[in-house]
Every structure is written in structure tokens, then in C-alpha cells.
Amino acid sequence: MSTKGGALRLGTGGEFDRLRAIFASLGAAGRGLGDDCALVRIGARTLALSIDLSLEGVHFRTDWLSFREIGWRATAAALSDLAAEGVQPLGVLVSLAVPDHRQRRPGNASPAVQIMSGVGAVARSVGAHVLGGDLTRSSRYLVDVCALGVARRPVRRSGARPGDGVWVTGRLGGAGLALAALLAGRRPPAPVRRRFVRPEPRIAAGAWLARHGARAMIDVSDGLAADAGHLAAASGVRIELALERTPCWPGVTPLAAARSGEEYELLVAFSPRFRERDARAFRRATGLPLTRIGRCLPGRGIRMTDDGRRITPPGGFDHFPGR
Amino acid sequence: MSTKGGALRLGTGGEFDRLRAIFASLGAAGRGLGDDCALVRIGARTLALSIDLSLEGVHFRTDWLSFREIGWRATAAALSDLAAEGVQPLGVLVSLAVPDHRQRRPGNASPAVQIMSGVGAVARSVGAHVLGGDLTRSSRYLVDVCALGVARRPVRRSGARPGDGVWVTGRLGGAGLALAALLAGRRPPAPVRRRFVRPEPRIAAGAWLARHGARAMIDVSDGLAADAGHLAAASGVRIELALERTPCWPGVTPLAAARSGEEYELLVAFSPRFRERDARAFRRATGLPLTRIGRCLPGRGIRMTDDGRRITPPGGFDHFPGR
């Protein structure tokens, strides 16, 4: 048994940088640190694990989401990390904290039960099981999900090479559109709201991409531009994104789409031999578009163009705006 | 790959009972539900997983523990679940939430870094790695640890049979003694405090017991009497405990020792062929006493005697006293 790398999902700022350093000193190889999943060899197999904390007031609000949606969304975020490695999930373990609700109406399932039904529903949707959990009282809701799966050929963030094409699944900006409406006190239209409250982890898509030679992959959780930056940094390449090619939700500008977080689509690098006809095969297999939006070059960082004009890449999605 | 059972760590009360039911409906086999770890078959190996949530104000107080101790203690609790299955840990994933500490003194490591150094120290002490994590801002500290390991021969709670002897490792009551002092505003004597703030997961002891034929095992986290009750329920036996045999910390009565939670010793059932000379071999191997404190009988529930007189079993340790 050996341990290869580790998964980190951290914010930005000085303390987070120091913690990154201590994780690196505590964990095994530095190479994998910062990937979507921790990978552990067990005999001939590679186990992939990811942990994902969702806190009331930080990641969700109970007036925006039903309890079932809170469970779905928190679990989908952890499963999305497995999707980004091309991993088939086995199951999830869930820590739950719930306030003591004495005012609960008789007949209604408790919030904890409703949250767990959302956890179970999204796990089932990708063939995974609820393996175990922990439940505690707290003043605020909290859902922490550890997802695990087995990788045939895990796809790291670090495998992109100069000359590779950069592609993205689905359409971006729906989650941001929903968030903007919710922040403004409006209820988003049903398909937009659904995109936000019931994101679908791209497990089948990730497995297809891994099977067809994906060199590097990441899920779009911080925003396209930010996550492309993570992939570029891990791979030691520069990524150029052509903003006008970004597949957008109706009513969303490419710039807004490129900074919309928690989209849970997959950003993937392929050798130049991967062509449009392969993307059509992907769409036939998964029902999702796969759009070439950029390429890898020697160098570092992100460069964005809009119809050929260079623009400043937008910042990523931040759970702590203004801090 | 198949999924065997699931690990639950729940409190008591109506909502928890309903959640137990929904976990059972979501999880795989009912047999394992309520065990210390979730067990997942991966090829020829069995993976054991446990998740353990520690919240400020519920499981710890920052005026009682240093940040390093908070990390150690939260991680030791998850690793103790692996010990109770006789499992060798591979690693831990850690979700951390920390307040935004602007008042931090320059030169001091941040609380998050100190917590992680405690996590890393106890993981290293049992040969495990920090595999990954998640970090978020929150108004209160939170440490959620998912521990995983590989089991040669996992020992469930459910294997005890009538006629088996019931044994316990180490001495009980130290954690309760420390807690009582802290609650009274006193600083406990160093060895007592150490027992509370730096519990040692009994990994080597659990592995020895598993190797030598342990039939059923559980860690003492809710209190000896309560955990004996869990083991009896899972195994479908009655357990009789002879209170006067309980190995106690100096200054602790057997009754107090039997209700002291978070002791992280191991309670284990062996066939009657396991004798005192085997316990001496255990002590030579691990440095810990192994004391026969009771036996399994046909029936259900717990019966306690004190020098032959029957007494009412004390209640377990409760994170929510008075609710």
C-alpha cells in the first residue's frame, strides 16, 4: 500500500497558504497536493477520496434550499471531485449537525432525515451508497461529505502538456444566474434554480473522458477562469481561453459564465488528436456538449481573449467576498 | 466490489432513531449498521472507514484544550473506531472550520495550522497519513475526521456468543476525572489531563486482539455500560458485567469508571478458551492490562453486579445532557 498525493480544497489568503504548507509536510508526495481527490493504492487498485464541508451561512442558506436540496448539493460537491478524476464512486460517509428543532411540525420528516434523503438520492443517482455517518446537535446546519471511489486510471490536474486542447462539458453560468437571483431576493426560474439546487455530478462524463485519454481534469467549482488557473499551475503550462467560445446558459454573458462557481462541469485537457468528432461521440454517450474553449502553451498562468482581444481574467468564486 | 454494512455514530432520542432508520434504508445490509466502521470490499481487501465530527461547544472547548490538542483528540476519536475493528489505519481526511482570527499574535502559528499539527501527530503515531482536507471559515471551530484503513479480519460488534468472556483494555475513568475537574474550573493533574487531551487510539492493541481471535469489539466512547449495551444488542446476547472487576484510574470508583465516556479503550468478547495467560501475553505485547470484567449469556441487555449484588447500569455519556 502506498499513498500518492493528497486532496486539498482551500480558499486563498495567508493562513490558507500556511496550511497548504503544513498539509504538504504532513501528507505524502507534494505532486498530488491540491488535486481533486486523495489517491491511495490498495493492492492493484487505486482508491480516490474527497471531503467537502458545507456550512449554513457560508455554503448554503436554509431560506434558499430545502433540507433535501441541502443534502443533495453538499453530496454532489464531493462526488464532483470524483468525477473530475474519472472515478466511479462507491459510497459516501456523512457528518451532519442539526439544531434542536422543537418547533418542528408533526408529520413532517425532521430536517436531518430530509437532508439524508437528499444525500441518498444523489448517491443513488451515480450508483453509490451511504456507508455511514455521524450526527450531532449544533446551532447551525452542517453537512460534511467524504466520498470514495475506485479509479481505473485516475486523471490528475497535472497531466496537461503544451499543445493540448482545453475543453469543457455542458454550459456554464446557470449556478451564477441562480445565485444572483437569490441574492436579489427573487426566485430563479425553475430550470435555473434546479441547476443550482440539484447539480448533477458528472460521473459518467468523467469516466468517458478518462477512458478516452483525458490528460488532465478538474471540476468547475471556483469558476472556469480560476479552475483553469489551478489546472495550469498543477500542469506547469499556460492556458489560453477564448472567452467567446464559452458555452453559456441563456441570458449569461461569457464573462459571467467564466466566473460562475459551483457549476460542477468538467474542464479537461486532451492531446490535439482529440477532435470535434470525438466531442460528438461524447455528446451521444452522455447527452452533454463538449466544447473546445482553449489550449495549453508553454509558460504559466491564464490568458483570456474575447474575439481575439486580450482581456483580464475574472477572479474566481469566493465564499468570503470582501474579507 | 461490494458494500458490507455501514458505520453510524448517533446520539439518542426520537430524531436519531428516525435517522437510524433512514440510514438503514439508504445503506446496504442492516447487519453492520451501527458498527464502528463502514466496511467496503475492494478486490481481495476490506476497507474500513469511519467519520467523526467534533464541534466547539459540544465536543470541546478552546479554554480546555490547546488547538494542537483539539486536532489530536478529534483525530484520535476517528482512529479509535478503526482500532475497534482491528484495522491498520492508512490515513485521514480532515474538514476544518476556523473563525477569522485577526487578533492572532504575530509569530504564533494560526489555529488551523496548530490543529492540523495535532491531527498529523496522532496520525503519525499510528502509521497513518494526512491524505487531504477542506478548510472553511466559520464562527466556531469544527474538526471532522474521516479515517480509513485496511482490515485483514475486521472484528464487528456482532460476533459475541453466549459463554464468551468480556474483557477491557487499560484502565477506565481517567477521561471522566479530567472532565469533572475541567467542569469545576480546576486544572486536572498532568497524567489525568493528558488522558483527556491526548487519548491514544488502541491500534496495536486492536490488531493484537483481532489476530488472537476476538469475536466482537467496540471502543469505549459512550461509557463502558453503554458500549457493552451496544455490543450486546449487535450480537444478540446479554452481557453481565462485574463492576468490582472494572480496572479503574486511581481515585475513580467502578461506577464512575463504568459511565466515563471518551475513554477510547477497547471492550472485547473472546471465547472461553481465551484465558488470563493470554491477557498476560497481550500485556507483554502492548504494555496494557487486559481485564476480564464479564461474560455473555443468552438473552439481551446489560446486567451489572457489584460484589454479586445486582445494580442498575449507569446511563451512558451524553453530549447533550438535559435535552
Higher-scoring residue by pLDDT: B17, A198: A198
Contact call for B58 and A6, based on CB within 8 A: no
| Residue A196: pLDDT over 50 | yes
pLDDT attached to residue A2: 36
| Residue A95: pLDDT over 50 | yes
Contact call for A19 and B110, based on CB within 8 A: yes
**Residue B174 CB neighbours (<10 A):** 27
What is chain A's mean pLDDT, rounded?
88
pLDDT attached to residue B13: 59
Cα-Cα-Cα-Cα torsion B13, B17, B18, B22, nearest 10 degrees, comes to 150
Sort strands A238-242 and A301-306 into parallel, antiparallel or unpaired: parallel
How many Å lie between the alpha carbon of A266 and the closest alpha carbon of chain B?
A: 20
DSSP 3-state percent helix, strand, coil across chain B (nearest 5): 30, 30, 40
Q: Name residues whose C-beta falls within 8 Å of residue A72's C-beta, 6 or more positions apart in sequence.
A: A118, A119, A121, A122, A197, A198
How far apart CA B79 and CA B122 sit, in angstroms, is 9
Question: Do A79 and A49 touch, CB atoms closer than 8 A?
Answer: no
Bridge partners of residue B241, in order along the sequence: B294, B304
A27 and chain B in contact, CB less than 8 A: yes
Reported as a pLDDT band with limits 50, 70 and 90, residue B43 is confident
Compare all CA atoms of chain B with the CA of A20 and give the residue at the minimum distance. Answer: B113
Chain A (190-219) residues lying within 8 Å, Cβ to Cβ, of chain B: none
CA-to-CA separations, B119 to A23, A214, B82, in angstroms, rounded = 10, 35, 16
A240-244, B51-55, B106-110, B286-290: least confidently modelled range: B106-110
How many Å lie between the alpha carbon of A131 and the closest alpha carbon of chain B?
A: 5
pLDDT attached to residue B21: 67
**Residue A159 CB neighbours (<10 A):** 15
pLDDT attached to residue B300: 95
- Local structure of B10: helix, strand or coil: coil
Residue B59 is placed in which grid cell?
A: 465536543
Task: Tell me, rounded to whole angstroms, the distance of Cα B102 from its chain centroid.
Answer: 35
| Residue A321: pLDDT over 50 | no
Respond yes or no on whether ipTM tops 0.85.
yes
Bridge partners of residue B133, in order along the sequence: A8, B94
- Looking at the partner chain, which of A25, A51, A137 has a beta carbon nearest the beta carbon of B58? A137
- Looking at the partner chain, which of B16, B18, B131 has a beta carbon nearest the beta carbon of A49? B131
Reported as a pLDDT band with limits 50, 70 and 90, residue A31 is very low
How many Å lie between the alpha carbon of B172 and the closest alpha carbon of chain A?
A: 24
How far apart CA A194 and CA A69 sit, in angstroms, is 10
How many Å lie between the alpha carbon of A273 and the closest alpha carbon of chain B?
A: 34
B116 and chain A in contact, CB less than 8 A: yes
How far apart CA B52 and CA B79 sit, in angstroms, is 9
Question: Span A45-65, mean pLDDT?
Answer: 93
Question: Span A29-52, mean pLDDT?
Answer: 77
pLDDT attached to residue A21: 67
pLDDT attached to residue B281: 98
- Looking at the partner chain, which of A3, A51, A97 has a beta carbon nearest the beta carbon of B133? A51
pLDDT attached to residue B226: 93
DSSP A300: S
How far apart CA A208 and CA A286 sit, in angstroms, is 8
- Looking at the partner chain, which of A16, A26, A27 has a beta carbon nearest the beta carbon of B135? A16
Query: How far apart are the two ends of chain B, measured CA to CA in Å?
Result: 42
What is chain B's mean pLDDT, rounded?
88
Bridge partners of residue A263, in order along the sequence: none
- Contacts A128 to B, Cβ<8 Å: none
pLDDT attached to residue A43: 83
pLDDT attached to residue B109: 77
Alpha helices in B169-275 (DSSP H): 174-183, 190-197, 203-211, 224-235, 254-258
State pLDDT tens for residues A134-166.
Answer: 888 899 999 999 999 998 889 999 999 999 999
pLDDT attached to residue B262: 94
- Contacts A44 to B, Cβ<8 Å: 43
Reported as a pLDDT band with limits 50, 70 and 90, residue B199 is very high
A130 and chain B in contact, CB less than 8 A: yes
**Helices B67-83 and B111-125 meet at what angle, rounded to 10?**
30
Residue B220 is placed in which grid cell?
A: 469505549
pLDDT attached to residue B44: 84
Contact call for B136 and A43, based on CB within 8 A: no
Domains with residue ranges and CATH for chain B: 2-151 (3.30.1330.10), 165-311 (3.90.650.10)
Question: Do A250 and A291 touch, CB atoms closer than 8 A?
Answer: no
State pLDDT tens for residues B92-105.
Answer: 999 999 997 655 56
**Helices B174-183 and B190-197 meet at what angle, rounded to 10?**
100
Reported as a pLDDT band with limits 50, 70 and 90, residue A18 is low
- Contacts A98 to B, Cβ<8 Å: 15
pLDDT attached to residue B108: 72
pLDDT attached to residue A115: 94
CA-to-CA separations, B323 to A136, B194, B262, B314, in angstroms, rounded = 13, 29, 20, 18
Question: Span B121-126, mean pLDDT?
Answer: 96
Percent of chain B with pLDDT over 90: 73
pLDDT attached to residue A310: 92
How far apart CA A184 and CA A284 sit, in angstroms, is 38
Q: Name residues whose C-beta falls within 8 Å of residue A77's C-beta, 6 or more positions apart in sequence.
A: A52, A54, A145, A199, A221, A262, A264
Does residue A73 come out as left (phi exceeding 0), alpha (psi in the -120 to 50 range) or beta?
Answer: alpha
How far apart CA A93 and CA A298 sit, in angstroms, is 41
Contact call for A116 and B23, based on CB within 8 A: yes
By CB atoms closer than 10 A (0-12, 13-18, 19+), residue B183 is exposed
State pLDDT tens for residues B167-180.
Answer: 999 999 999 999 99
**What b/e sequence results for A118-129 when a residue is b if at least 16 CB atoms lie within 10 Å of its CB, and e otherwise?**
bbbebbebbebb
Chain B (246-265) residues lying within 8 Å, Cβ to Cβ, of chain A: none
| Residue B229: pLDDT over 90 | yes
Percent of chain B with pLDDT over 70: 85
Query: How far apart are the two ends of chain A, measured CA to CA in Å?
Result: 42
pLDDT attached to residue A22: 67
Strand (E) or helix (H) holding A174? helix A174-183
**Residue A284 CB neighbours (<10 A):** 8
pLDDT attached to residue A5: 41
Contact call for A113 and B10, based on CB within 8 A: no
Chain A (38-77) residues lying within 8 Å, Cβ to Cβ, of chain B: 38, 40, 42-45, 47, 49-53, 55, 58-59
How far apart CA B219 and CA B264 sit, in angstroms, is 6
Higher-scoring residue by pLDDT: B77, A45: B77
B130 and chain A in contact, CB less than 8 A: yes
Contact call for A112 and B53, based on CB within 8 A: no
By CB atoms closer than 10 A (0-12, 13-18, 19+), residue B307 is exposed
Question: Do B176 and B250 touch, CB atoms closer than 8 A?
Answer: no
- Contacts A132 to B, Cβ<8 Å: 6-9, 23, 27, 37-38, 49-51
